Structure 1
Amino acid sequence: MKLLSEPLSTEYLNIEISGLSKSLRNSKIVQMSDLHYDGLLLSEELLAQAINTSNQLQPDLVVLTGDFVTHSPKPIHQLVKRLKSLESRAGIYAVLGNHDLYLPTSKAEITSALTAVGIQVLWNQVAYPLGPELALVGLPDYWSPEFNPASVMRQIDVNTPRIVLSHNPDSAEALKKWRVDLQLSGHTHGGQIVIPGVGSVPHWIYSSRHKIPEFLWPWIPFLKGKWPKVVKNWQWSQGLHWVGTNKLYVNRGLGTFPPGRWYCPPEVTAIALV
């Protein structure tokens, strides 16, 4: 079965960061997310195009924000053969998503495979790939019991700008208590089906739940149970948002779940720091 997708889109952002060192101005970061490499949800052609697009952008840093696989971790070994073609001046960094923790063995197997091709996986860790003037924080998936931003944030000087990689955008609520100059997330696939002028279908359904009798909720996607299955904050399903005083950007991802994408193309994000 071939899923309906759309041509790859490259989204260009200029992100203003207060106190950014002159030496880091116009630094380029490429973000990719939600590959779901399993032989069905991401074509080899789209993956190759995304990698080629990233390389043509000549980034200073590449970040990958989780869900490399869907269920079994086994496809990661084939995926890393493709990802080792990614080029970046200061390295490639990643965090894991909920699907990367699907089985008890998933975290270790996926982390090991990525590390073997030079991709550094951050798990409640901070790194400084662009130098000491900019921290890069990587967090476990928000649903993981090991999600613990406090343990990382207290390691960073309050005057140091920081970018946070966190797969699930709902984590932005928990992160409001700290300075976050830019949070990069994925997870939602942009809602996958977007109605022009209305927004993503999941956001529309969830925001209209008060009009729907609760006894019907179990039969409606995204309303099963008291909380949506994917995220609480569907209003953050894609694009740039302010969460308190922090900026959040949500990438639409590359992989596609059934029934497919409509007005919601897969995405490579090109970010310039200013």
Structure 2
Amino acid sequence: MYPLLTEAIAIERVTIAIRDLAPHLQHRKIIQLSDLHYDGYSLSDRTLQDAIAQVNAEDPDLILLTGDYVTRDPELIHPLAQQLQALHSRWGVIASLGNHDNHGRPYRQMIIEALQAAGLTVLWNAIAYPWGPDFPVIGLADLWSSDFQPQTLLASLPPNLPRLVLSHNPDSAARLQPFRVDLQLSGHTHGGQIVLPTGEPLPEILLRLRRVVTRWMSTTLGEECDHVIQHWEWVQGHHYVGTNQLYVNRGLGSYFPGRFNCSPEITVLTLNPA
């Protein structure tokens, strides 16, 4: 059984200007996937296989995954990891983790080991250099984790060195403002899932109405939306947070009742010098 509302996968193409980008990195193509929620309900195998086929057809230079691979059962990471082995790029697949991947250290370790066994590089407060020393990829611990301490990694890098940060929850962009972040990739929000014709996500509308609607909606839906993310203005797409850049992917999976006017997303990002 899958969500009542579902839509075809959309490919979003974004060009990102990077200051101090090395000439050999110009026009490099990165693909981001996020929030698969592989639990037998939120994401069908057919949709997953379709997404993998579309990613591979793009012939990317690098694939980046930004967390929430499962929802509650960590054992489901094993069949998911087997399918993720089919992803192909010139410089591999790098993954960070989300809040649903971190219900305790043994839970998190099972997910890390399964992804690593499938050939993925997994970053939890770690740095990878898929393209050499000119462009590090930093994978942070999830914002809701006590391990979220970005200053240790970011302050260790030379100030003139461009860098890309994987951080599941876009709220972390507020915490990262004191540091140089040329591009932060996040997910977590599912794009709001239900987006009105005005372009406003339904959860954001519910938050505005918290104090004037029924007690049930105020205490249940409003607080739940408020818990998911504080900065609903960053619910999806490309944003500037101070001098830093943030891109929020709508994800592949979803929760009941599913998606309306908010299709699951594959993001294709092309790097250019600023």
TM range (shorter): over 0.9
Aligned to 1:61: 62
Shift, 1:104, TM fit: 4.3
1:48 and 2:46 correspond:
no
Aligned to 1:177: 178
Uncovered stretches (5+) of structure 1, i.e. residues with no partner? none
Q: How does 1:54-203 map to 2 (within 5 A)?
A: 54-203=55-204
Structure 2 counterpart of 1:254, which letter? Answer: L
Task: Say whether the 8 Å CA contact 1:167–1:185 is kept in structure 2.
Answer: yes
Structure 1 counterpart of 2:257, which letter? Answer: P
1:212 and 2:227 correspond:
no
Shift, 1:258, TM fit: 0.3
Distance in 1 between the 2:99 and 2:77 partners?
15
Shift, 1:217, TM fit: 5.9
Distance in 1 between the 2:28 and 2:149 partners?
28
Shift, 1:117, TM fit: 1.2
Runs of 4+ in 1 over 6 A off after TM superposition: none
CA RMSD of aligned residues (A): 1.6
Q: Structure 1-normalised TM-score?
A: 0.95
Shift, 1:199, TM fit: 0.9
Task: Say whether the 8 Å CA contact 1:71–1:103 is kept in structure 2.
Answer: no
Tell me how many residue pairs correspond in the alignment. 271
Task: Say whether the 8 Å CA contact 2:29–2:270 is kept in structure 1.
Answer: yes
Q: Structure 2-normalised TM-score?
A: 0.95
Distance in 2 between the 1:55 and 1:102 partners?
31
Identity of aligned residues (%): 47
Shift, 1:156, TM fit: 0.9
Distance in 1 between the 2:130 and 2:105 partners?
30
Shift, 1:77, TM fit: 0.4
- 245, 250, 253: which is aligned to 1:252? 250
Q: Deviations over 1:85-130 (max 9, x none)?
A: 1001111101110000124421100000000111111111111111
Aligned to 2:222: 222
Shift, 1:215, TM fit: 5.5
* Partner SS state of residue 170, structure 2: coil
Q: Deviations over 1:129-165 (max 9, x none)?
A: 1121111110011000000101100221110001100
